[in-house]
Amino acid sequence: MPLYLGLLIFSFLITSILVVPFINFLYKISFLRRHQLTKDFQGIRTKIFDHFHKHKAGTPVGGGLLIIAIVSLLYVFIFPLISYFGVFITTAYPIREELNVLFFTFISFGLLGLYDDIMKFFGFGRTGFFGLRMRHKFVIQCFLALTIAVLLYHNLGINFFYIPFFGIVRLGFWYIPFSALIIIAFANAFNITDGLDGLASGLLMICLFCFWILSNRILDTSLSVFLSLWLGALIAFLYFNIFPARIWLGDVGALSFGATLAVVGLLIGKTMALVVIGGVFIVEVGSSLLQMIWKKFFKRKIFTVSPFHLWLQNKGWEEPKIVFRAWLVGIILAIFGLWLAII
C-alpha cells in the first residue's frame, strides 16, 4: 500500500505541473468547445442543453488525452523499476496479457474519442473521409469491445462473473458478447454522463477508489499500479474540471475511461459490483435509452429532456447542486457495491 500511495501522489504532482501548460496549448490550437455542438443520444441537437451551457463555449476540450498520455508514459517508466528495487510483483493473470488488455482499451477507445473531438471542435464536414456517422462509430466501438472480450476470454481465461450470495456463474463462450456489451455500455454511459462540470470525473474517482481496494485484495500489482497512476492524474485534472470548469475530458477521455472502468471490473471478476458502483452512469445511459425507445415506439417523450442530469437542470436544479448530490449518491453506491464485492 505505501508504494501505491506514493505512485498516486507522484502521478498527481506530474499532472498538476503539466495541466496548466496543456490548457494553454489547447487554447493556442483552438481545441475549444463551440456553441451549439451538443447532440442528444440520437444525434439530434438539443436546444435545452444549449440554453444552459452556451456560456461554456470557448472552454478547452481534451483533458482525457493528457491523462491517457501521463498514465501510459509513467507506467512504462515506473513499472519495470518496481521489481528492480525489490518489490515482489504478484498478478491474478499473466502480466503481459493483462497489460495488453488494459492499455489496448485505454488507448484504442481514446483514439476513437479523439477522432470524434477533432471532427466536432475543428469543424470538419460530416461527409467523406471525415464523415463517420454515429452508427459507424458505434460499429467501431463494437469491434473494439469484441476484440477486448476475446482477449479476456482466450488470453486471460476469464469466462465467469460473480453474483453476490449465489457465487460464480460460468458463461463459457457467451462471456465474449456479455463482456463486450458491458464495455460498450459503460463507454457510452460515461460519455453521456460527462455533461456537467466535474460530474463524470468525480464519479469515476469514486469508482476507481473502490476497485483500487479490490485490486489490492487480490494482490494484483500491475492493476494496482495502473489504478494508482490513473487516480493521481484524475484528481489533479478534477481540480480544473469542477464548476466552473477550465477544461473538459472530451470524448477522448469519456470513451476511454468508461470502457477501461468496465474492463477493470471484468478483470477483478466483480461485474455485479461494477454495475452497482457505477450506478449513476447506469441511470444516465438508462434515461437516454428509455427516452429513445419511448420516442421510437410511442412517438412522444417520456422525459422533457434526457439524460437525467439535464432533466434535473431543466427542472431548476443548479449545476453544482446536481454534481455534488450525484457524488454523494455515487459514494453510497460505491460503499454498497464494495460490500457486495467482498462478502
Number of domains in the chain: 1
- Cell reading at 236: 489533479
One-letter identity of residue 296: K
181 inside domain = yes
List, for residues 103-126, the tens digit of each pLDDT value: 999 999 999 999 988 887 766 654
54 inside domain = no
Bond before 164 cis per omega within 30 degrees = no
pLDDT band of residue 293 (cuts 50, 70, 90) is confident
Residue 120 belongs to domain spanning: 2-30+62-342
35 inside domain = no
Residues facing residue 60 across a β-bridge: 32
The distance between the two most distant Cα atoms of the chain, rounded to a whole number of Å, is 64
Q: How far apart are the first and last CA of the chain?
A: 22
46 inside domain = no
Most confident range, picked from 70-84, 207-221, 291-305, 320-334: 320-334
pLDDT band of residue 224 (cuts 50, 70, 90) is very high
List, for residues 160-191, the tens digit of each pLDDT value: 888 888 888 888 999 999 999 999 999 999 99
> In whole numbers, what is the pLDDT of the chain averaged over residues?
88
Amino acid 162: pLDDT: 81
What one-character-per-residue DSSP string does 280-320 give? Answer: HHHHHHHHHHHHHHHHHHHSS-SSSSSSHHHHHHHTT--HH
Q: Is 228 exposed, middle or buried (0-12, 13-18, 19+ CB in 10 A)?
A: buried
Given CA atoms 31, 239, 192, 308 in this order, what sign does their dihedral have?
negative
185 inside domain = yes
One-letter identity of residue 105: T
List, for residues 227-238, the tens digit of each pLDDT value: 999 999 999 999
142 inside domain = yes
Cβ atoms of 32 and 120 within 8 Å: the answer is no
The number of angstroms, rounded, from the C-alpha of 263 to the middle of its chain's C-alpha atoms is 10
Cell 431543466, located at residue? 314
pTM above 0.85, yes or no: yes
44 inside domain = no
Amino acid 117: pLDDT: 87
CA 248, CA 60: separation in Å to the nearest integer?
6
Residue 39 has pLDDT above 90, yes or no: no
Amino acid 35: pLDDT: 56
Query: 145: helix, coil or strand?
Result: helix
Question: Range with the lowest mean pLDDT among 78-92, 168-182, 314-328?
Answer: 78-92
Amino acid 151: pLDDT: 96
